[in-house]
Structure 1
């Protein structure tokens, strides 16, 4: 009998075993021989080719001889053409200046910047000396030389980086401000995305603005050592007028010096004692906690004092938890992955030297709001100025472009076994229960708004009844409001003999701040979303040992994680942390085949490609049609901002038709995606795409379609896809297909958990009916 949409789809350990054994691609004996709580079906691995960064090639629209800016058509140029034109103009002006100063001081050097703005050199590689544990944290800048076409006697310079601004005193032109250095805090995210803005002012009380230079850090040829670079000065309104853009104002040479670099020495995850206790015994001694935290590898006395203070808090936590959980193994099982981050994560623990006085807003919240303001300032302070009507008009045009030119990419590798979808629905019930009794009733699974609201612990009791759990099976229910602390619950599922960790998605202002704190934070041998990483660190510090104790107490055979939206990003990172503790879980449970698996819905991009590939066996993610959240990484948002700016320029060009604007925007979007100018983070694990398919042009009526309403060009050769009846399918996909925003009308509607629930159930019923008809 086919389950109705109003009833939960039952899943037992037998269903999980069936789904696991159905996948013939799993050759590992350990992955197949589960008897108590095995994993669901693992699809065959797909390894789509990585898109190489495109290199800008010479274009016929860029003049090769002397440049006459008055005759150029800037609107018809691609970003690559504009970049080549910019470099050519610098070289032309530099040649004129050097010739005019022949025999004199060689103040301005030939521009040394690379010919392409793409493939940022700040990505770790053997050529630039960067690694995940070695990147600068302070940037020192100074004015090396300046040349102005306007005669002036005194100047002042303002350096702006993120929300920090430094303006120099008035000094004589041109040598008065040379070698005066200014320092700015700089993290890895800044090296990838941020700009340094330099403004030149005429000295005096009525001094006017002379010129401006925007310097993208990722376009520097290197970020280690001392660098000198020459840039053309532009008018501050050059982005609005081609005439002002071609005005020769002068040049400025900036000196950069990146300071800091290597963080404290830390172990690789494979070398963690928590990951492999046998390694500690073979070495002849156990490493102390201070060695894990890198206390002995600090460079300055101040850093050592900070680390020692962290150690005191760390040891105090050991004592507090030892009585309850028998902390004999506490020292040896602490993961070190989450500790391999920059100093911002350390600050969030409240372990600074000076204790702040109690305030209305907690120190942790103030820290998060400060970081968010810096990130917002960096995003909007890159030189583009559009009015609100211009942004709205451009956004509507971009939306039309997405609807016409940017369909959702498909693989047509359809999941044909309904048992895998049944397992996904089962864990989706856990994720929906985290939203509380009122939302669960809205989804159609409660027992009435009034009945569920008029009782004690209404949310936890409603969730427990919905999941069919006993009172003793709800192990933890923690929904306290605090920034960078996830809202979650932990329970024991007797049917699966497993511990299930469920993290709620975005539901309040605190979680919105976590979502928007999207800096790329170094994590393990890659980087991750900073807000999600801090939430995962909270779970590790406060609940990792409890989870181990529960596994040992109930002799569980698996730990499952399930989450939606923000919670899915946190669950993915916490799964990566738990993976290093699988040997301990197997020892505590007495089960050598102990399993770890994470079932996520609408996971936002949160880690780099290398970590995605590494943790594919442990994480599954389901994405619904036009859902915006799984596509919204910081790099994708920067690409979208670029599209808005380009669309505004195309709309201001009255000579172009609508079709020409669409074509040029499509070409620019293609170049933008291929360039990788804004590096992306990706969705971790294996990805499954849920969508509604139909070859009928209009499916608004219930009558059978006429022949002229059927789109024969949409045939794929797969009978499940080519069926003209509108139906839902789930297909195997890849992370590369979800690294760009799909700005369509229903992008928020498709993100709701009940839309995932309805679509998965309909896909399950369609496959089940199709199988029964064949029998």
Structure 2
């Protein structure tokens, strides 16, 4: 418990102080106390000997920008008994985002309701119909300065008095200084590192040394083989301790991020000790950060396991019966519109190294690739048919929260530079190389989280288009292609950069819809589904008769009401995929039951809602894109234009092709994919 003075007008940003004064209840209590919860931060008042509390106690919470958008302060009132278990009287809830327009310090009353009517135990529809009278109210004084993005005063306090008006300018000058230094050097040196290989080649002279084999003894070779096999199963390798040249322009950032994360996490000494034996410090901190988010997400979730399962079942069936509102039916007819994206998909997949290529059946076999030297870089060159000199830079790591893998290559077919990432920082030498060799295009590609990182990196590099344009007679092309991207930007930014970013999504991919806002909405729908399931018997989940259909219809109406309120209110802020969006859909016809089409869509349509279906995880797998690009290309090349207009948009016609679709996938060959042919028949 933290005592404080509310008279202090210089409260630090990111700190919320709540002072509990008293309670006024309609039910009889003798020794009340309150448990205050926000995420993983929990406090408790003293047990009062007065029925109206009279605590006059204060508590302080640490509030991040993310927390103030989504988190809720719960105040659970209990009546303490000497022998019997304490009785839960009721709960008051304070949504932090509702403090946005409030004064820095204010006093207010908060209604106390029965716990069964809290946001974690009931949907809005039930609360609206059953809330007749409350249990009472709590009087509390709150002191908090809401953090607004773009508010200079708030940002100055949050970032320890740094001058933000000068800092971007200083960073820009430093970047351009490094860029000029790389332009003035005789040879542009790139970083090449592959974890698990002893002869890593750092700072190679491009075009002179190329890709060389390592000269090691038999003992070193054995160690490398064991290290590769160990890294395959997630174990660290001895090569990580050999050291390699570091880049001061990139190594400082992960340290700052880790320090920021570490300062706000609850520590568990025993778990930290065990974690240091099994995973790296960075991974351990990320797991703790995820645990912090899960604690906030599950706060006040009062459903039992059985209720949660029934709620999931009802919502999943609701989406099965729901017409495809996500489809635009704006089908791409011109092959050239997706030709570059189809070509660069191979580069995106290659960033996963030999493991990812073997996963999609493009490698030399797990055992063969696991035991050879520089297997990742060699697999990239083999998959893309690149000579050694065209693989400019790479960094392949088996683990590391803030140092994932990437590679930079020259694509001879388009005479462009391709940066393929699972997440990295770009260096000025990349721009210098484009200037020196008259490269006319820079393509940044990635899959999943790497696609989101590629989008953000593209937005950053657009500030340096003048540098990329130097020495070019034609306009320089800076383009990002993200495959199955994660949500990473606000809606206005997603629309702003649609000329430079393309996002390609497969069907109902969960990653392209997943953010904390859509998860909070799904939480409310699961609660509504659990309430609706109370009117359904167990038999209704197994078979449905005429009477059962009416019960399901009533249940769907209850879930639909909750869903519509979430969409209309937008009380949970969302992130979106960036740029111009294309979406693959399985769209069978009687003559082509495995037909796949590409539709133009928008970030808002794709990322506004998390669709709960059994196929949403499978939709994210990279193997889908290999087949989808091939079948969509075949569809555009073989079908006459008049036949392409006959897209099947009715559920019953899609179902008639389901059986033939399954038979196609069972006939064997490389064209059939169970993940597409059997999962996406709706």
TM-score, normalisation: structure 1: 0.61
Change (3 A) 1:269 1:572: farther
Larger RCO (CA under 8 A, 6+ residues apart): 1
Q: 1:269, 1:580 within 8 Å by CA — same for their partners in 2?
A: no
CA distance in 1, matches of 2:368, 2:101: 64
Cα contact 1:274–1:334 (8 A) shared by 2: no
Query: Which residue of 533, 554, 557 maps to 1:663?
Result: 557
Q: What is the rounded CA distance, in whole Å, between the counterparts of 1:450 and 1:156 in structure 2?
A: 62
Change (3 A) 1:271 1:215: closer
- 2 CA distance for matches of 1:756 and 1:750? 9
Q: Deviation per CA, 1:623-651, whole angstroms, max 9, x where unpaired?
A: 11122221112111111111110010011
Whether the aligned pair in 1 keeps the contact of 2:25 and 2:135 (CA below 8 Å) is yes
Relative distance call for 1:147 and 1:670 in structure 2 (3 A) is: same
Find the counterpart in structure 2 of residue 164 from structure 1: 41
Shift of 1:324: 11
Alpha-carbon offset, residue 424 of structure 1? 1.2
Which residue, out of 504, 513, 517, partners 1:635?
517
In 2, Cα distance between equivalents of 1:773 and 1:151: 76
Matched, 1:479 2:397: yes
Q: How does 1:117-196 map to 2 (within 5 A)?
A: 136-173=13-50, 177-196=54-73
8 Å contact kept, 2:33–2:53? no
- For residues 670 and 678 of structure 1, the distance between their equivalents in structure 2, rounded to whole angstroms, comes to 13
Displacement of 1:250 in angstroms is 1.8
* Contact 1:405-1:666 within 8 A present in 2 as well: no
Q: Does 1:566 align with 2:449?
A: yes
Q: Does 752-761 or 488-497 show the bigger shift?
A: 488-497
CA-CA distance at 1:231 after TM superposition: 1.9
Q: Distance in 2 between matches of 1:323 and 1:501?
A: 18
Q: Does 1:692 align with 2:571?
A: no
Distance 1:152 1:663 in 2: 40
Q: Which residue of 1 aligns with 2:639?
A: 770
Rate the CA distance shift 1:416–1:185 in 2: closer, same or farther, 3 A: same
Q: CA offsets, 1:293-333, max 9 Å, x none? A: xxxxxxxxxxxxxxxxxxxxxxxxxxxx99999xxxxxxx9
Task: Indicate how the Cα distance of structure 1 residues 417 and 135 shifts in structure 2: closer, same or farther if over 3 A, else same.
Answer: farther
SS of residue matched to 2:115: coil
Alignment partner of 1:257 is 2:148: no
Q: Deviations over 1:32-91 (max 9, x none)?
A: xxxxxxxxxxxxxxxxxxxxxxxxxxxxxxxxxxxxxxxxxxxxxxxxxxxxxxxxxxxx
Q: Give per-residue Cα distances to partners, 1:84-143, cap 9 Å, x unaligned.
A: xxxxxxxxxxxxxxxxxxxxxxxxxxxxxxxxxxxxxxxxxxxxxxxxxx9941111111
1:602 to 484, 490, 494: 484
The verdict on how the C-alpha distance between 1:348 and 1:380 changes in structure 2, with shifts beyond 3 A counting, is closer
Shift of 1:346: 5.5
Q: Is the 8 A contact 2:262 2:285 kept in 1?
A: no
Equivalent in the alignment of 1:418? 335
Residues 1:448 and 1:198: Cα distance change in structure 2 (over 3 Å): closer
1:470–1:477 Cα change, 3 Å: farther
* Structure-2 separation of matches of 1:679 and 1:488: 31
Q: Give me the whole-angstrom Cα distance separating, in 1, the residues matched to 2:598 and 2:167.
A: 35
Counting only pairs closer than 5 Å after superposition, residues 20-39 of structure 1 correspond to structure 2 as none
Q: Note if 1:740 corresponds to 2:603.
A: no
Aligned residues: 524
Confirm whether residue 466 of structure 1 aligns to residue 348 of structure 2.
Answer: no
> Per-residue displacement from partner, 1:547-589 (whole Å, max 9, x unpaired)?
33443554432221111112111111122222222222333x6
Distance change (3 Å), C-alpha of 1:563 and 1:486: same
1:544 pairs, out of 424, 427, 431, with 427
Distance 1:204 1:680 in 2: 44
SS in 2 for 1:192: helix
SS of the residue corresponding to residue 512 of structure 2 reads helix
Partner in structure 2 of residue 402 of structure 1: 319
1:613 and 1:683 map into 2 onto residues whose CA distance is: 10
Change (3 A) 1:208 1:771: closer
Q: Deviations over 1:654-699 (max 9, x none)?
A: 59711111122223212221111212111111101111224x6xx6
User: Offset of 1:495 from its aligned partner?
Assistant: 3.2
Cα RMSD of the aligned pairs, angstroms, is: 3.9
Shift of 1:228: 2.5
Does the alignment pair 1:201 with 2:95? Answer: no
The match for 1:45 is: none
Unaligned runs of 5+ in 1: 1-133, 281-320, 326-332, 505-534, 705-723
Runs of 4+ with >6 A deviation? 240-245, 268-271, 276-280, 321-325
User: Quick one: structure 1 residues 431 and 667, their matched pair in 2 at CA, closer, same or farther if it must change by over 3 Å?
Assistant: same
1:466-516 Cα shifts (integer Å, max 9, x gaps): 112111222113224111332222222233333211124xxxxxxxxxxxx
On the 8 A contact 2:77/2:89 being kept in 1, the answer is yes
**1:274-673 residue pairs with structure 2 within 5 A?**
347=260, 360=277, 362-381=280-299, 383-447=300-364, 451-474=368-391, 475-504=393-422, 539-540=424-425, 543-587=426-470, 593-653=475-535, 657-673=551-567
DSSP-derived class of the 2:427 partner: helix
| Residues 386 and 208 of structure 1, relative CA distance in 2, 3 Å threshold | closer
| Structure-2 separation of matches of 1:467 and 1:323 | 21
SS at match of 1:620: strand
Q: SS at the partner of 1:410?
A: coil
Structure 2 counterpart SS, 1:639:
helix
Distance in 2 separating the partners of 1:480 and 1:418: 37
Q: For 2:496 and 2:140, how far apart are their aligned partners in 1?
A: 41
2:94 to 211, 215, 220: 215
Secondary structure (helix, strand or coil) at the match of 1:657 reads helix
> Would you say 1:681 and 2:575 are equivalent positions?
yes
Partners of 2:627 and 2:203 in 1: CA distance: 46
Deviations 1:417-455 (A, max 9, x none): 212222111111011222333442443433555654553
Report deviation, 1:411. 2.2
Alignment-derived partner of residue 674 in structure 2: none
Report deviation, 1:166: 1.0
Match of 1:729 among 583, 592, 597: 597
Whether the 8 Å CA contact 1:150–1:249 is kept in 2: the answer is yes
Question: In 2, are the aligned partners of 1:227 and 1:255 still within 8 Å (CA)?
Answer: yes
1:582-641 deviations in whole A, cap 9, x for unaligned? 222333x65673221111111121111122122222110111112222111211111111
